[in-house]
Amino acid sequence: MTEEDGLRSRAAKELPAILARIASTENEVVVVALADLALRAGFIDTRSVASFVADLISIATDASRPPSHRSLAIMNLEKHARDQIKAKSAIISALKDPSRDVRRQSVQSLGTWPELTETELDAIRALETDKDFAVRNWVQLVLRNAQARNTIQQTNNPMHPSGGSFDS
C-alpha cells in the first residue's frame, strides 16, 4: 500500500466521525470538523462527497451560523464539490454575505475555479467597492487572473483570430 492509499483509507475511516461533528451545536467542534474536512481534500473518494455537499451548502448559506462556519463550508465546497453547479451557486450567493470574512472566502474560492461565466464575474465585480480592503484586493486578483485565463484560452484556440499563436 502506498502512502497515498493509506491516506485515502484513513480519510474514508474518519469521514463519518467528521460529518457527525459538523452537525454538532458546539461552535469549536464544528470549526475543527470543517477544518479537518478541508485538510482531507484529495483523499476523500468522490463518491462520498455527495453525502455531505448538501450539508456544506446549508451551512454556507445559513446566516444564523457563525461566519467561521460559513467561510469553512465555502472552502470545503471549493475543495470537494468543484464539479457541482449547486456548490458554485452557493458560493456566488455568499458574495452578498454580511460578513467580510465570508465574502473574502467566497471570492478566493471562486478564484480557483477554472472557468467563470460573465454573470459570475459580474457578481465578483460588484465587490470592487466593498468596504473591506481585503475583499477588494481579492476581487482585483481574481478578476486579473480570470482575464489572463480567458486571454490564454482565446489565444490557444485555433478558431480565434490570432490563429492559436501568441505571436500577433
Gap between the Cα atoms of 88 and 166, Å rounded: 32
- Look up the pTM and report it: 0.84
Torsion of CA 28, 64, 107, 49, to 10 degrees: 70
Gap between the Cα atoms of 35 and 62, Å rounded: 18
| pLDDT tens-digit profile, the chain (168 residues) | 898 888 888 888 999 999 999 999 999 999 999 999 998 888 888 778 888 999 999 999 999 999 999 999 999 999 999 888 999 999 999 999 999 999 999 999 999 988 899 999 999 999 999 999 999 999 999 999 998 887 776 676 666 555 454 444
Gap between the Cα atoms of 96 and 58, Å rounded: 15
Gap between the Cα atoms of 60 and 94, Å rounded: 7
User: How long a stretch of residues is the chain?
Assistant: 168
Domain 3-155 classification at class level: mainly alpha
